[in-house]
Amino acid sequence: MSRSLSSPNIDAEAAAWLARLHGDHDAAARDALDAWLAEDPAHAAAFERASEIWAILPRAARSSADEARLRPAPERRPWLRPALAMAASLVLGFGVLWWSLATVGDYVTRPGEQQVATLDDGSRIALNTDTRVDVKFNADRRHITLDRGEAMFEVAHDADRPFVVIAGDTRVEALGTVFTVRRTRTEVVVTLIKGEVAVTREARERAMRRRPRCCCSRANG
């Protein structure tokens, strides 16, 4: 049975508490956080998820030491550039944003900034520093383009709408999975944290399942 997801408002509160906890805080702030956590089990669950996301991104970035390389593709592919922008529902201090997303948008973090976003299907995206992603959902697919940087994806299960991340000419498809994708000028790294994904490039496919593994390919464009 899949776990229930809390509302974006509770998630935003949890992220705010986490940001405050990692900044300047005193005993009174800690007591206030403890009181908030005790109010509702959903508060504690949301705070735990926010803490996991906070911790996973740096750890996943370090995992690239075990990368397996794929041959680069000769041609470039155009990027989707949705014209619609997104307004932040809540801006937090200490360089962290928690945004609630619609179905289409272009989302960016500046150097030194991180963003946690909740999509309307219940999936979450945690953007690391200096990252840009495009989100486009419709009735039969969930499509993400990673233009640069690194993002972690916690994918809500929906068998009728595949969740696909494109980074250069690397395609990652997942159903009910947690994984990261990191794109630089020279390579794309996919790190599986939980579940299973299929990584496809130039008619080559690599299935990743059960335990964290990563693969790397030379980025295109």
pLDDT in tens, the chain (221 residues): 333 334 556 777 777 787 777 666 678 888 899 999 999 998 998 888 777 766 665 555 444 333 333 333 333 333 222 222 222 222 333 344 444 444 567 788 888 888 888 888 888 898 988 999 999 988 888 999 999 999 999 999 888 899 999 999 899 998 778 888 999 888 888 888 888 888 887 655 555 554 444 554 444 44
The pairs formed by 117-125 with CB atoms below 8 angstroms and a separation of 24 or more are 118/8, 118/11, 119/156, 121/156, 121/158, 121/161, 122/5, 122/156, 123/153, 123/154, 123/155, 123/156, 123/163, 124/49, 124/53, 124/153, 124/154, 125/101, 125/151, 125/152, 125/153, 125/154
Angle at 181 between CA 150 and CA 76, to 5 degrees: 95
Single-letter code of the amino acid located at 102: A
Question: In a 3-state reduction of DSSP, which class is residue 66?
Answer: helix
Tokens of 50: 């926010």
**Bridge partners of 1?**
none
Distance CA 151, CA 128 (A): 6
Q: Which residue matches tokens 């945690």? A: 126
Tokens of 207: 């299935």
Question: Which residues 6+ apart lie within 8 Å of 52 measured at CB?
Answer: none
- With 0.75 as the threshold, say if the pTM is over it: no
